[in-house]
Amino acid sequence: MASSRRPRPGTAETRAPERGPGTGAASPRTPEQPADPVPAVSVEPVEPVEPRTLRRVLVAAGVGHFVEWFDFGIYGTLAVILAQNFFPSDNPQASLLASFAAFGAGFVMRPLGGMFFGSLGDRLGRQRTLALVVLTTSVATLAMGLLPTYATAGLLAPTLLVLARLVQGFAAGGETAGATALVAEYAPVHRRGFLASWLDTTGFAAFVAGSGLVLLLTATLGDAMDAWGWRVPFLLAAPLGLAGIYLRTRLEDTPDFRRLKEAGRTPAAPIRESLRTTWRAMLFCVGFMLIKSVGHWSLQTFMPSYLQNTLGFERVAAFGVTTLGLFAVAAMVPFMGALSDRVGRKPVMLSACAGFVALAWPAFWLMSRGDAVLACLAMVALGVCMAAFDGASVAAIAELFPTRLRYGAMAVAYNVATALFGGMTPYFATWLIGSTGYDLAPAFYVMLIALVSLLTILRTRETARTPLVT
C-alpha cells in the first residue's frame, strides 16, 4: 500500500534506484550498465484508484482499441476480395500481392503516426490524443467502404484505396502505445499485467468480430459478397467510431500524467528526448515486438488467404478456421496476463517464443493436410503461443519507459518493428511460397523471428511488480 504522505520533490525519498538499460527493474549501477539519464521517480498513485474509475478506464480504452483494430484489420481479412475489386489481374497471386502491398503501405505510415501522436500524448495527455486517433481511423475506414472499384474508376480506385490505407496507418501508429500507457498508469502494480492484457483481448476480439462478420456475410450473400457485401464491414466504422470517441472523451487523464503536468515536468520535445535518453529500452522494445507483430498479422491477415489460395480451402472454411484461432487468442490473453503478474513477464514471454519455434512448422504441416479440424487445431496451437506473448508483453513494454516519455517512446519503437516486419508479413510470406515453391516456407520465417525475440528477452531483467517511474 502506498504511503499517504507525498515525498517532497528533489529529496532522497523520491529517487528510485538506478535502472539498467531496457528494463524497469531496479539494479545496482555498474560501469557496463550506465544509469538511465532520465531521473527515475516513483509515481505510484498516492491513493488507490477507485474500482469504478478503473472499470471506466478499461471500458473506454478497450472499446476504443476494439474500434481501432476492427477498422485497421478488416482490410487484411478481406484482402482476397479487395484484390479482385481494386487490383484485377490475370494472375491471382500477382493480384493478391498487390493487395498485400497496399495493406503494408498502411504500416509504412505507422512510425510517423507514432511520432506525431506519441509527442501529443506526452505533451498534452493520453485521453485527448486517443480520442483523436479513433476519429482519424474511423473517417479513413468509412471512406474505404464508399470508394469506387477499378471497374468503375480505373486506376483512381486503387490510388484512393492506398491513400485511405495510409491515413489508417498514420492513426494506428498512436493507438497501442497510448492505450497501453493509459491502462498501465491507472493499474495497481500487482495487477498491471492482467489489466493491461485486456487491451490485446479487445484487439483480438476485434479481429474475431471482423473475421466472423466476413464469414457470416460470405455464407449469406454468396456472389453478392464480391459485388457489394465487402463494403458493409467498412461502413460500420461510423457508429463504432462514435462510440469509441464518446467513451474516451469522458475520461480523465491518468493520475501519473496529471501529476507530471501539475509539476511542470512534461517534456517539450518528447521524441527527441526519448531517442537521446531511452534508446536502449527502445531497442529492447523493438526486439520484443518482432514476434508480436509477425504473429499477429500472420494469424489475422495471412492465414485467410493462405488457406484459400495455397492450401485450397473453401472461403467459408478458411474464415471459420481463422475466426476460431483468433477467438482462442482473445480468450487466453487475460489468463496469461494474470500469470505474468504471478511468475513474471520473462518466463511467460520466453515460453511463448519457444512455443513458436517448436510448433510453427508442425502447425503449418497440419494445415496442409487439407482437413478443417486439423487446421483448427493448428490455429489454436499458434493462438495459445500468441496469447502467452501478448498477455505478458503489454505491461512489460510499458514498464520499460518513464511516464514522461512513455507514450512517444513506445509508439516509435513499437511501430518501427511493426512497419518493418508485421505489415510486410503477408506480402513476404506469399512471396516466399512463390519463390521457393514450398507451401510451408512461412513457418520458418515465424520460427526465425520468434528466436530473435527470445534472445532479446533473455537479455532483459524482470519488470513485474515494480513501480512505474516518471
Long-range contacts of 278-282 (CB under 8 A, 24+ apart): 278/36, 278/38, 278/400, 278/401, 278/402, 278/405, 278/409, 280/21, 280/22, 281/21, 281/22, 281/23, 281/36, 281/400, 281/401, 281/409, 281/413, 282/409, 282/412, 282/413
Q: Do residues 94 and 63 lie in contact, with contact meaning Cβ atoms separated by under 8 Å?
A: no
Q: Do residues 289 and 177 lie in contact, with contact meaning Cβ atoms separated by under 8 Å?
A: no
Q: What is the DSSP letter of 397?
A: H
Side-chain-facing half-sphere of 367: CA atoms under 13 Å: 34
Nearest to 203 by CA among 303, 72, 320: 72
Other beta carbons within 10 angstroms of residue 139's beta carbon come to 17
Nearest to 122 by CA among 416, 401, 446: 401
- Cα separation, 456 vs 330, in Å, equals 25
> Could you list the pLDDT tens digit for every one of the 470 residues in the chain?
334 344 433 333 333 333 444 444 443 333 333 334 334 444 444 457 788 889 999 999 999 899 888 888 888 788 888 888 998 877 777 787 888 888 778 888 999 999 999 999 999 999 999 999 999 999 999 999 999 999 999 989 999 999 999 999 999 999 999 999 999 999 999 999 999 999 999 988 888 888 889 889 999 998 899 999 999 999 998 899 999 999 999 888 999 999 999 999 999 999 999 999 999 999 999 998 999 999 988 998 899 889 998 999 998 899 889 989 888 999 999 999 999 999 999 999 999 999 999 999 999 999 999 999 999 999 999 999 999 999 999 999 999 999 999 999 999 999 999 988 887 888 899 999 999 999 999 999 999 999 999 999 999 989 999 998 87
SS3 assignment, position 15:
strand
- Cα separation, 119 vs 468, in Å, equals 20
Side-chain-facing half-sphere of 28: CA atoms under 13 Å: 2
Q: Which three cell numbers stand for residue 326?
A: 483468433
SS3 assignment, position 26:
strand
Other beta carbons within 10 angstroms of residue 93's beta carbon come to 16
- Exposed/middle/buried for 6, CB within 10 Å: 0-12, 13-18, 19+? exposed
- Cα separation, 100 vs 83, in Å, equals 8
Q: pLDDT per residue over 23-80, tens digit each?
A: 444 433 333 333 343 344 444 444 577 888 899 999 999 998 998 888 888 887 888 8
Nearest to 370 by CA among 312, 327, 421, 425: 312
Q: pLDDT per residue over 105-155, tens digit each?
A: 888 899 999 999 999 999 999 999 999 999 999 999 999 999 999 999 998
Domains in the chain with CATH codes: 49-458 (1.20.1250.20)
- Cα separation, 233 vs 225, in Å, equals 11
Nearest to 176 by CA among 107, 247, 123: 107
Nearest to 328 by CA among 417, 395, 390: 390
CA dist 53 to 183, 201, 465, Å?
11, 20, 21
CA quadruple 290, 418, 172, 24: dihedral sign: positive
- Angle at which helix 51-77 crosses helix 126-146, to 10 degrees, equals 30
